[in-house]
């Protein structure tokens, strides 16, 4: 059903009232998470199974919110607890159930027990892996109870394919509110909110808007940086995929505020689902007059295009991204001129990241003071983080700025996941960020507190590391990443990162010398000072922070020829203790390269020339016979 | 460059460039169309044939060096033909920490590839490591063609490849 052209606040209110009534008339709504994480665990197959089996069992269900049926099947964006996906949130008015790790084989039982009889399928409830306690509703689970979702309220609650459901949550009211007002006031509202760039830099968003608004020129552009390249970060992908309309609304408001009539969303090629979702959302907006000429009957025109990236991390840098949209190699340019004065095709250009724009509709609707009621004085609002690595609960979270690392790792993340392995460090901010230790657990996650300890918020990737992680290897990993992603423009970034990588490889090969550490440090500072863009300036951070906080590990690799974490292949060989081996043969079965041989009931042996040191044998052996 | 009447490249390579021409007329000939054109050509041919790049340069009125420069700058583009199954191992932080190296070794061993990445001689498999796929919660993650495999280990990986054949 088409909702027709939207030309006034009244139209939005009417749609909202209809959505509210339609939701109220439903008996049960199945909210199946089809975000990137759950999709990787097979959510699309679960969705298909629901469609087929609901129909086969004669349950009359709907996908469109306005259909008059009592059972609704909804495909939502990221619900957060990705590790336990596919996630299914079942809502009966005020009563809710939350199922985890749902497979197509569970669908029959869910329909019979839950959809028809409103009873719980106990085995699908989330159980705390440490206490064994089962939780019926989503919000009771500590992972969710300790969060504060403002931006993600809609993501995971509404059908990500539905414009109507977004409007039902007061979506696009922000545009209705600003149309006809002085655009300087819109910029000021954003400035007053204290919103800072969520892409990592933390520059005050409102100030950027004002600069672009003041820039002279008939033609201006609004660009969204959706080139979320930081390894370990996926929140922008989740917003584009699951809550695309919030991003579009933010960009339309920005277009009005700075006087632009054209926008570009630059999405990285690795996010095909996000691209699909954005295309659908743009088409929906064009159809009902929220994008295009005379938006909502006003004289404001705005259109949005999607530009697919082609796989270059440096395109996350704003000037490089602009060159990439223009069809060139994505190499950064010196600033000034800033994009606000001379950006895309030399025109004044406002460029912000996905999460920054997506926060704007809430700020416009609820006011700057509301936004400031969350977070800290200098870093207001909430921020999404992706929590991954060696932690019990991995997924996407949203918390007020200023929350401590400890709260994220322990209360939300549930602590380290490997039994007996203590928390060692948290890597924050991706390749530009740093590794912080247990001494930093009380550090607050905000722009300024992190800067003080040599880290940065970055885009919000938070990777938890435990005792089994070698910090020299972590540094080498990031150096390898930035080295291969360096565009080659600045000599210090291009050559310096290469030399740093060689030194790290030398240390990891057991051939390091103590003087290498001084050279490494010297190079790191030179690369930092001598590079043009953020990539080079921050590339040495992982090395500098590990040298500062984990120098003893470097020394152990160099002097003792040992890896304290026991992770470096160079320093270990796998063998089977003939005394302990019972000859069960399990290890030989698990070995992916057939390096283990022997006869049942007599000790097995490992062929070191074939062994890839994956550790599968040691993990399998019940008798602790595999030594390394 | 010369072309024969049937759309094939006039040189000895024998690649049919009809689709390249269609793609150019779909996308347009402005300079900012270059990357979308290259993406579509790569989708069609699974790599960027040199002849196609020369034709694109001619139609867009830019130098072949510019096209080559763009094609080699972005990781998505390949100048060599790829295998039937493209196995992309995520090399994001979370996947690295949770041991993607052992996955890569298991794949190389299974498909018989000496190098750390590349295509097998029978053109069946291409192994690549790619930047973060955004499935960090399910690390280590692997994509084969378009299917995502989460929480992999060497044994599961080998089984997944076995299933392809």
What is the H or E stretch that residue A278 is in?
helix A272-287
Q: What pLDDT score was predicted for residue B2?
A: 44
Chain A within 8 Å of B116 (Cβ-Cβ)? no
d(CA B101, CA B84): 23
Which residue's structure tokens are 């699951």? A242
Q: What pLDDT score was predicted for residue B13?
A: 58
d(CA B94, CA A196): 26
Q: What pLDDT score was predicted for residue B98?
A: 84
- pTM metric for this prediction: 0.90
Q: Cβ(B129)–Cβ(B91) under 8 Å?
A: yes
Q: What pLDDT score was predicted for residue B4?
A: 47
User: Which tens digit of pLDDT belongs to each residue from A464-503?
Assistant: 999 989 999 999 999 999 999 999 999 999 999 999 999 9
Instruction: Quote the tokens at residue A298.
Output: 């006003």
User: Which tens digit of pLDDT belongs to each residue from A239-286?
Assistant: 999 999 999 999 999 999 999 999 999 998 888 899 999 999 999 999
Q: Please check the confidence at residue A56 and state whether its pLDDT lies above 60.
A: yes
Instruction: Quote the tokens at residue A533.
Output: 């863009």
> A94 CB contacts (<8 Å, ≥6 apart)?
none
Q: What pLDDT score was predicted for residue B92?
A: 84
d(CA B122, CA B114): 14
Which residues of B, range 31-70, sit inside 8 Å of A by Cβ? Answer: 31-36, 38-39, 69-70
Q: Please check the confidence at residue A1 and state whether its pLDDT lies above 70.
A: no
Q: Cβ(A67)–Cβ(A23) under 8 Å?
A: no
d(CA A144, CA A398): 9
**Pairwise CB contact (< 8 Å): B134 & A593:** no
Instruction: Quote the tokens at residue A386.
Output: 């992706």
Of B77, B93, B106, the CB nearest to A461: B93
Q: Please check the confidence at residue A50 and state whether its pLDDT lies above 90.
A: yes
User: Which tens digit of pLDDT belongs to each residue from B59-107?
Assistant: 999 999 999 999 999 988 999 988 899 999 998 888 888 888 899 999 9
B132 CA: distance to closest CA in chain A (Å)? 5
pLDDT exceeding 90 applies to what percent of chain A? 81
> B121 CB contacts (<8 Å, ≥6 apart)?
none
Q: Which residues of chain B make contact with A392, given a CB cutoff of 8 A? A: none
Mean pLDDT of A353-360: 97
d(CA A187, CA A205): 9
Mean pLDDT of B125-131: 90
Residue A423 DSSP SS3 = strand
Residue A298 Cα distances to A176, A181, A463, angstroms = 10, 11, 46
Chain B within 8 Å of A272 (Cβ-Cβ)? yes
The edge-to-edge listing of strands for the beta sheet with A349-353 is A303-308, A262-267, A221-226, A349-353
Higher-pLDDT residue of A129, A502: A502
Q: Please check the confidence at residue B11 and state whether its pLDDT lies above 70.
A: no
DSSP-derived secondary structure for A368-420 = HHHHHTSB-SSSBSEEEEEEEESBSS-EEEEEETT-BHHIIIIIIT-SBSSTT
d(CA A29, CA A97): 11
DSSP category for residue A149: -
Backbone angles phi, psi at B6, to 5 degrees: -85, 15
Which of B136, B151, B162 should one mutate to test binding to chain A, selecting the residue with the greatest count of A CBs within 10 A? Answer: B136
Residue B53 Cα distances to A11, A307, A371, B49, B81, angstroms = 50, 21, 50, 7, 14
Residue A66 Cα distances to A8, A71, A165, A480, angstroms = 21, 12, 10, 52
DSSP category for residue A469: S
Q: Please check the confidence at residue B164 and state whether its pLDDT lies above 70.
A: yes
Q: What pLDDT score was predicted for residue B1?
A: 44
Q: A379-394: string of b/e by CB count within 10 Å (b at 16+)? A: bbbbbbbbbbbbbbbb
Q: Please check the confidence at residue B134 and state whether its pLDDT lies above 80.
A: no
**Parallel, antiparallel, or unpaired for β A88-92 and A95-99?**
antiparallel
Neighbours of A60 (CB within 10 A): 11
Of B32, B73, B94, the CB nearest to A312: B73
Taking the CA atoms of B12, B15, B16 and B17 in sequence, report the sign of the dihedral they define: negative
Q: What pLDDT score was predicted for residue A2?
A: 67
Residue A110 Cα distances to A50, A63, A72, B118, angstroms = 9, 18, 14, 45
Residue A351 DSSP SS3 = strand
Which residues of A, range 488-517, sit inside 8 Å of B by Cβ? Answer: none
Q: Provide the angle, in degrees to the nearest 10, between the axes of the packed helices A235-242 and A244-258.
A: 90
d(CA A517, CA A555): 9
Beta bridge partners of A437: A425
| Average pLDDT of chain A to the nearest whole number | 93
What is the H or E stretch that residue B130 is in?
strand B125-130
> A243 CB contacts (<8 Å, ≥6 apart)?
A77, A151, A152, A154, A155, A160, A358
d(CA A408, CA A393): 10
Q: Please check the confidence at residue A612 and state whether its pLDDT lies above 70.
A: yes
Within A30-160, residue ranges assigned H as helices are: 36-40, 43-56, 107-109, 142-145
Taking the CA atoms of A49, A27, A30 and A174 in sequence, report the sign of the dihedral they define: positive
d(CA A32, CA A225): 28
Of B32, B110, B138, the CB nearest to A41: B138
Neighbours of A538 (CB within 10 A): 23
d(CA A382, CA A398): 6
DSSP-derived secondary structure for A250-271 = HHHHHHHHHT--EEEEEE-TT-
Taking the CA atoms of A443, A396, A251 and B39 in sequence, report the sign of the dihedral they define: positive
d(CA A7, CA A296): 4
Residue B131 DSSP SS3 = coil
Which residues of A, range 572-601, sit inside 8 Å of B by Cβ? Answer: 590, 592-593
Which residues of A, range 81-120, sit inside 8 Å of B by Cβ? Answer: 82-83, 85
Q: Please check the confidence at residue A370 and state whether its pLDDT lies above 90.
A: yes
* CA A88 to mean position of chain CA atoms: 20
Of A237, A478, A616, the CB nearest to B134: A237
d(CA B110, CA A612): 12
Q: Provide the angle, in degrees to the nearest 10, between the axes of the packed helices A183-193 and A354-366.
A: 100
What is the H or E stretch that residue A547 is in?
helix A541-549
Which of A484, A494, A592 should one mutate to test binding to chain B, selecting the residue with the greatest count of B CBs within 10 A? Answer: A592
Asked which of A350-364, A392-406, B134-148 is least confident by mean pLDDT, the reply is B134-148
User: Which tens digit of pLDDT belongs to each residue from A90-102?
Assistant: 999 889 999 999 9
B71 CA: distance to closest CA in chain A (Å)? 8
Among residues A542, A529, A428, the alpha carbon closest in space to that of A478 is found at: A542
**Domains along chain A?**
16-141 (3.40.30.10), 164-372 (3.40.50.11540), 382-466 (3.10.20.600), 471-560 (1.20.1440.230), 573-627 (3.30.70.20)
> For the structural domain made of B85-164, what CATH number should be given?
3.40.30.10
Among residues A123, A35, A19, the alpha carbon closest in space to that of A72 is found at: A19
Q: What pLDDT score was predicted for residue A536?
A: 93
Query: How large is the C-alpha radius of gyration of chain B?
Result: 18
Of A311, A592, A613, the CB nearest to B75: A311
Chain B within 8 Å of A324 (Cβ-Cβ)? yes
d(CA A74, CA A23): 12
Residue B126 DSSP SS3 = strand
Q: Please check the confidence at residue A561 and state whether its pLDDT lies above 70.
A: yes
DSSP category for residue A47: H
**Parallel, antiparallel, or unpaired for β A575-576 and A605-606?**
unpaired
Stated length of chain A:
628
Instruction: Quote the tokens at residue A550.
Output: 């984990």
d(CA B18, CA B140): 40
Q: Please check the confidence at residue B9 and state whether its pLDDT lies above 70.
A: no
Chain B within 8 Å of A227 (Cβ-Cβ)? no
Q: Please check the confidence at residue B12 and state whether its pLDDT lies above 60.
A: no
Which residue's structure tokens are 């414009």? A163
Q: Is A112 exposed, middle or buried (0-12, 13-18, 19+ CB in 10 A)?
A: middle
For the ranges A35-44, A503-512, B9-18, the maximum mean pLDDT occurs at A503-512
Chain B within 8 Å of A459 (Cβ-Cβ)? no
Instruction: Quote the tokens at residue A158.
Output: 């509404």
**Pairwise CB contact (< 8 Å): A40 & B141:** yes
Domain ranges of chain B: 18-73, 85-164
What is the H or E stretch that residue A596 is in?
strand A596-597
Q: Cβ(A216)–Cβ(A231) under 8 Å?
A: no
Q: Is A336 exposed, middle or buried (0-12, 13-18, 19+ CB in 10 A)?
A: exposed
**Pairwise CB contact (< 8 Å): A234 & B38:** no
């Amino acid at each position: 059903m088409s909702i027709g052209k939207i030309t006034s606040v009244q139209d939005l209110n009417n749609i909202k009232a209809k959505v509210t009534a339609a939701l109220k008339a439903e008996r049960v709504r199945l909210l199946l998470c089809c975000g990137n994480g759950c999709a990787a665990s097979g959510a699309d197959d679960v969705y298909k199974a629901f469609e087929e089996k609901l129909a086969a069992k004669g349950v009359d269900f709907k996908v469109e919110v306005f259909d008059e049926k009592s059972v609704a099947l909804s495909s939502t964006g990221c619900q957060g607890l990705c590790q336990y996906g596919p996630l299914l949130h079942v809502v009966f008015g005020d009563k809710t159930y939350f199922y985890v790790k749902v497979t197509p084989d569970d669908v029959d039982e869910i329909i019979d027990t839950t959809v028809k009889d409103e009873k719980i399928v106990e085995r699908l409830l989330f159980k705390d892996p440490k206490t064994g306690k089962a939780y019926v509703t989503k919000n009771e689970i500590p992972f969710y109870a300790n969060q504060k979702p403002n931006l993600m309220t809609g993501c995971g609650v509404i059908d990500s394919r539905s414009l109507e459901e977004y409007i039902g949550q007061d979506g696009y009211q922000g545009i209705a509110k600003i149309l006809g007002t002085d655009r300087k006031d819109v910029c000021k509202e954003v400035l007053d909110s204290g919103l800072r760039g969520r892409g990592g830099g933390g520059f005050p968003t409102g100030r950027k808007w004002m600069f672009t608004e003041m820039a002279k020129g008939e033609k201006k552009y609004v660009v969204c940086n959706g080139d979320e390249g930081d390894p370990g970060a996926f929140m922008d992908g989740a917003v584009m995929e699951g809550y695309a309309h919030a991003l579009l609304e933010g960009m339309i408001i920005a277009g009005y505020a700075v006087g632009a009539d054209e926008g570009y969303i630059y999405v990285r090629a690795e996010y095909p689902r996000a691209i699909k979702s954005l295309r659908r959302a743009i088409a929906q907006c064009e159809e009902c007059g929220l994008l295009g000429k005379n938006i909502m009957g006003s004289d404001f025109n705005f259109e949005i295009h999607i530009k697919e990236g082609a796989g270059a991390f440096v395109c996350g840098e704003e000037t490089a991204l602009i060159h990439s949209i223009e069809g060139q190699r994505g190499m950064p340019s010196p600033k000034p001129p800033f994009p606000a004065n001379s950006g895309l095709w030399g025109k004044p250009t406002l460029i912000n990241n996905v999460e920054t724009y997506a926060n704007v509709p809430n700020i416009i609707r609820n006011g700057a003071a509301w936004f400031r009621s969350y977070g800290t004085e200098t870093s207001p609002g909430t921020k999404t983080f992706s929590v991954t690595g060696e932690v019990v609960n991995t997924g996407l979270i949203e918390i007020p700025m200023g929350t401590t690392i400890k709260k994220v790792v322990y209360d939300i993340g549930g602590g380290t996941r490997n039994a007996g392995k203590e928390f060692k460090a948290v890597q924050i901010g991706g390749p530009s960020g740093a590794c912080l230790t247990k001494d930093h657990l009380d550090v607050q996650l905000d722009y300024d507190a992190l800067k003080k300890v040599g880290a940065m918020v970055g885009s919000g990737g938070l990777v938890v590391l435990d005792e089994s992680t070698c910090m020299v290897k972590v540094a080498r990993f990031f150096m390898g990443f930035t080295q291969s992603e360096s565009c080659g423009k600045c000599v210090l970034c291009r050559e310096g990162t290469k030399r740093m990588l060689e030194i790290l490889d030398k240390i990891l090969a057991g051939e390091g010398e103590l003087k290498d550490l001084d050279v490494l440090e010297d190079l790191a500072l030179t690369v930092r000072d001598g590079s043009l863009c953020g990539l080079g300036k921050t590339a040495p951070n992982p090395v500098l922070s590990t040298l500062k906080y984990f120098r003893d590990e470097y020394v152990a690799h160099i002097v003792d020829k040992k890896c304290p974490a026991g992770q470096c292949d160079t320093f270990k060989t796998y063998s089977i203790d003939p005394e302990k081996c019972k000859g069960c043969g399990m290890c030989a079965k698990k070995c992916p390269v057939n390096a283990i041989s022997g006869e049942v009931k007599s000790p097995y042996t490992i062929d070191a020339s074939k062994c890839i040191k994956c550790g599968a044998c040691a993990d399998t052996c019940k008798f602790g016979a595999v030594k390394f | 460059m010369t072309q024969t009447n049937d759309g094939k490249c006039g040189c000895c390579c024998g690649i049919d460039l009809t689709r390249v021409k269609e793609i150019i007329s779909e996308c347009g000939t402005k300079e900012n169309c270059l990357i979308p054109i290259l993406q579509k050509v790569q989708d069609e041919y699974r790599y960027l044939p040199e002849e196609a790049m020369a034709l694109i340069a001619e139609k867009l009125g830019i130098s072949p060096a510019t096209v080559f420069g763009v094609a080699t700058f972005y990781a998505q583009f390949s100048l060599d033909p790829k295998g039937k199954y493209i196995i992309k191992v995520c090399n994001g932080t979370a996947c690295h920490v949770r041991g993607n190296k052992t996955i890569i070794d298991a794949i190389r061993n299974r498909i018989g590839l000496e190098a750390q990445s590349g295509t097998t001689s029978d053109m069946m498999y291409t192994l690549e490591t790619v930047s973060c796929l955004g499935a960090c919660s399910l690390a280590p993650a692997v994509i084969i063609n378009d299917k995502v495999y989460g929480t992999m280990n060497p044994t599961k990986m080998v089984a997944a490849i076995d299933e392809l054949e």
